[in-house]
Structure formats: C-alpha cells, structure tokens
Amino acid sequence: MTRICIYGAGSVGCYIGGRLLAAGADIRFVGRAAVGAALREHGLALSHYNGHRWSIPPAAIAFATDPAAAADADLLLLTVKSGGTAAAAAELAPLLRTDATVLSFQNGVGNGHVLRAGLTQTVLDGMVPFNIISPAPGHFHQASEGTLALQASPPGEPDLSAFQQAALPLERHADMAPVQWAKLLLNLNNAINALADKPLREELSERSYRRCLALAQREALRVMRRAGIAPARLTPLPAGWIPALLALPDAAFSPLAGRMLAIDPAARSSMSDDLAAGRPTEIDWINGEIVRLANRLGGEAPVNAKLCALVHMAEKTTPRRRWAANALLAELHAVTGAAAF
C-alpha cells in the first residue's frame, strides 16, 4: 500500500488526508502540536456541502510534529502556507526517500519552483479549488464545489489510486501554470473577504465588495496579458469576463452567479480565518504575486498593492477593522490613478 504523508496538516491537509484515510489509505499527518492535540481529543469529523459525512476515531489517526515522520513516505502532500514552503523543503531534503513524490497542494503560483530548487525528488504542482472551513476542533467541512487538479507526470508516476477510492478525483494537466494563475485570480477575493470580515456568500452578495474584486481582477488581467499569461477557464465564464459579471447590480448578478454563490453560508476565506486566529496570511503570495509581476515588467499594480497593505495592517491591529463595502471601494478607487498597466 502506498504510504502517504500529509505535511502541514491544517484545514486543507486534514480534510484531504482525512478523506483518504476514511477510504482505507495509509496516512500519516505532520503538523502543529495544537492540531495534533485536537485530533487526539476529538478525532477527525469530515463533512461535505452535499451532506456526506465521515468520522475517524483518534486511535486511527497517526499524527506527528517531527518532520522525520515523513521519512518513509512514498507520496507526500505538501499543504503548508506558501510562506513556509522554503523551510519545508529544507526540512524534508535530508529525510525523504529519493523515489518519493511530492504533491504541492498550496495556494499561489511559485511553490513548485521553490520545492524543485530544494529537493531532488519529483515535485508535481497541484491545486485545491474548494473552500475548507473548520467549524469545531477536529471538524473539517468542504464548503464549495471543485475537483482537485494535479500536474501530469511522466511514465512510472506514483500510485494515486487512493484519491479515486476516496471519491477525490484528480484532473490532470500537462501545464499547471494557467490553472494556478486562474485560481490566483479567484483568490484575489481572499483579501477582500478578510477585510470585510463577513461570510463569503454575504460578502459576494453585496455589489460594492464585488466591485472591489472586479478592480483587483481587471488590474491582474492587464498585468498577466502584458506578461503573456493566459489563465485557464475554471468557471463557466472565461476569466476575462468575470469582472464584468461582478460589477453587475445585485438583482442581475444573483441569478447569473449561481455557482459563485453555491457555498456554505458560514464559509469564509482562509485569509479571514488566519486574521481571526492571529496567524500571518498568504497575502504576499496572492495579491502580492500580481504586484511583483507588474514590478518585473516595469509597471505597478496599485489596487493589489493597496489590498496587500491593508491586510498587513490588519495583521498588526487588534481588534481588526471590519471594512464596510463602500469605504473599501473608495480606498481602492483612490489609488487607481497611480502608474499601472
């Protein structure tokens, strides 16, 4: 049986690893002590927005805080935050078997490059399209739809049958970059949701918040076009059409955006959860990626730069400000006159 390690077992890692474990896979989790304590006390409770539920008792969960627990893995699923990718590669480099395969199921577009620079093992880029929330200790809930995406690999690839057995199919892509950039465009909303401090469905139901996202996406699309990047189509609409949909009045938006609003009423972005928990966010690997790309091309991305600044401010402020939609929109409109593509 393929030995699978979930490295960086937070919400995404516990959910995917838990689903694999519930289907009979050989799973070991490596993560923070606080997560391990919750799993030892409560076990793993997994749920899906379609009503499916899975339960795994504490005794069936192998959890460690020591990176050495990954040493015998055939397959390692890396689910650490993007800011921890380089450190994870440094920890794993002297431990992993040479024939192990690493799957990067992380936000952002550059984690695979960082891992390949630090590891000799095969690294495959992946993408998690759905939102995971943790309504209680040890409970992880898939709050929206989507199919895991993974880079296609050469002959002799690792045994990935555990995903099929767990009803977690993998969409394979010869080139993951367009998929990752498309996901990043959608993830630009994470900052807006975190600043709004509202559930995603409630935030996206308010036009002024959507107009904030439309500003960030239009700017990102301009920068990406300048860089020759064509994002994949992950939604019924092409990526370039989404800002226009977002800017529609509420009465017109709601009937046209069924899938966008098909999300658990309690779901929030992971960035919002990070701010609530006092953890560093991934803002520099999402909106910040657009800013860096614009700078490399000799321009600026002032809307996304402003969102980065506001989230960094929120990371340092207690209690954090809950931005009203019109106030946030005015803040972003105020910087649109800066030099940009």
pLDDT, greater one: 260 or 186:
186
Is the confidence at residue 195, as pLDDT, over 60? yes
DSSP per residue, 286-316: THHHHHHHHHHTT---HHHHHHHHHHHHHHT
304: tokens are 């996304």
Torsion of CA 39, 43, 44, 45, to 10 degrees: -130
Q: What is the mean pLDDT of residues 309-313?
A: 98
> Encoding tokens for residue 53?
């539920």
Average pLDDT over residues 8-22: 97
Would you state the pLDDT for residue 4?
98
CATH superfamily of 179-333: N-(1-d-carboxylethyl)-l-norvaline Dehydrogenase; domain 2 (1.10.1040.10)
Confidence of residue 312 (pLDDT cuts 50, 70, 90): very high
Q: What's the pLDDT tens digit per position in 200-222? A: 999 999 999 999 999 999 999 99
Using the predicted structure, report yes or no on whether residue 128 has a pLDDT greater than 80: yes
Query: Does the pLDDT value for residue 259 go beyond 80?
Result: no
**In this predicted structure, what is the pLDDT of residue 254?**
85
Q: What global pTM score does this model have?
A: 0.93
Q: Quick check: 285 pLDDT over 90?
A: yes
The answer to whether 314 touches 280, Cβ cutoff 8 Å, is: no
Q: Taking a C-beta distance cutoff of 8 angstroms, is the pair 250, 206 a contact?
A: yes
Instruction: Tell me: pLDDT of 26 over 70.
Output: yes
Residues 266, 267, 270, CA angle at the centre, nearest 5°? 140
CA-to-CA distance for 17 and 162, rounded, in angstroms? 10
Q: What is the structure's pLDDT at 155?
A: 64
18 contact partners, CB below 8 Å, separation of at least 6: 44, 46, 54, 56, 140
pLDDT classification of 295: cutoffs 50, 70, 90: very high
Task: Could you please state the CATH topology (level 3) that the domain comprising 3-174 is classified under.
Answer: Rossmann fold (3.40.50)
In tens, the pLDDT along 227-245 reads 999 999 988 889 999 999 9
Residues of the chain with CATH 1.10.1040.10: 179-333
Average pLDDT over the chain, rounded to whole?
Answer: 94
pLDDT the model gives residue 156: 67
Residues 30-47: what's their mean pLDDT? 97
Tell me the longest C-alpha to C-alpha distance in the chain. 58
pLDDT at 341: 53
13 Rama sector, left if φ>0, alpha if ψ -120 to 50, beta otherwise: alpha
pLDDT at 138: 96
Q: Please tell me the predicted confidence (pLDDT) of residue 154.
A: 73
Q: What proportion of the chain, given as a percentage, has pLDDT over 70?
A: 97
